[in-house]
Amino acid sequence: MEAHKLYYNIGEVAGMLGVAPSVLRFWEDEFEQIKPTKNKRGVRSYTQQDIEVLKRIRYLTRDCGYTLEGAREQLKLKPSESAKMELIDTLGELRRLLVELKKTL
């Protein structure tokens, strides 16, 4: 079983999320929830909590189509409300996929 690291550099996180490091730096400026620690040289270190927030931002902006402002609002919701909204969006997408699949049969 692989042990989880405590800190990840920007390249590792960018690779995990499938985005460019510049996107992570941009999101850091746009979302107050993202606060990686920086050493004296300015090298960012992300925690698992930072990564979870970044995954959520990627999901909201890329998969759900939220604007940055909309994503900010979603992040402010209670986790249960936010999870409910994500489930509704996911089910809607699943329904669209099933309708498309049905058309091909």
Domains of the chain plus CATH, in order, are 10-104 (1.10.1660.10)
Q: What percent of the chain has pLDDT over 90?
A: 60
- The candidate with the shortest Cα–Cα distance to 42, out of 17, 21, 68, 19, is 21
Q: What is the per-residue pLDDT across 68-97, written as a single tens digit (0 to 9) for each?
A: 999 999 888 766 666 776 777 788 889 989
Residue 1 confidence class, pLDDT cut points 50, 70, 90? very low
In angstroms, the CA 105 to CA 27 distance is 42
Residue 10 confidence class, pLDDT cut points 50, 70, 90? very high
User: Model pTM greater than 0.75?
Assistant: no
Tell me the HSE value of 105 on the side-chain side, using a 13 A CA sphere. 6
